[in-house]
């Protein structure tokens, strides 16, 4: 488990956000590694739980850094919910960085114009 403080809140369009708290003051809350918790029913009447990053690091210049996101407290609903251990583990694994072996082929996300 991580010693970081993982928090849950609803953003201004009512998405459930799980993130790591960076700081907060009277007006704002700043987080890093935010993800969206998505729960959908399956045909066999079970619930499927998925976590999606709020923003994909593949679109940033440095994929090893995690941006901070600042929300106005007036635009979110905060919760003191304690998340289940399996969900926290999935959240932590989602943001782990891995070192790439020099022999690993590079996968291009976009076609180069050159």
What CATH code would you report for 6-94? Answer: 2.30.30.100
Best CA proximity match to 94, nearest among 48, 49, 40, 53: 53
Question: Is beta strand 6-10 parallel, antiparallel or unpaired with respect to 28-41?
Answer: unpaired
Question: Is beta strand 77-79 parallel, antiparallel or unpaired with respect to 47-53?
Answer: unpaired
Residue spans per domain, the chain:
6-94
The DSSP secondary-structure symbol of 84 reads P
Q: Mean pLDDT for each consecutive 10-residue tract of the chain (114 residues)?
A: 77 94 96 95 92 88 88 94 92 79 70 62
Cβ distance 35 to 15 under 8 Å?
Answer: no
Query: Taken in order 82, 86, 90, 93, is the CA torsion positive or negative?
Result: positive
Task: Give this prediction's pTM.
Answer: 0.77
d(CA 95, CA 86): 15
């Amino acid at each position: 488990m991580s010693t970081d403080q993982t928090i849950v809140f609803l953003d201004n369009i009512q998405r459930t956000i799980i993130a790591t708290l960076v700081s907060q003051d009277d007006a704002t809350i700043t987080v890093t590694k935010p993800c969206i918790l998505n729960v959908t029913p399956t045909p066999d009447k079970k619930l499927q739980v998925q976590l999606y990053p709020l923003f994909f690091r593949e679109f940033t210049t440095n994929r090893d850094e995690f941006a901070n996101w600042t929300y106005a407290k007036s635009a979110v609903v905060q919760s003191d919910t304690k998340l289940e251990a399996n969900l926290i583990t999935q959240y932590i694994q989602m943001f782990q960085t891995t070192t790439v072996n020099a022999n690993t082929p590079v996968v291009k996300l976009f076609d180069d114009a050159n």
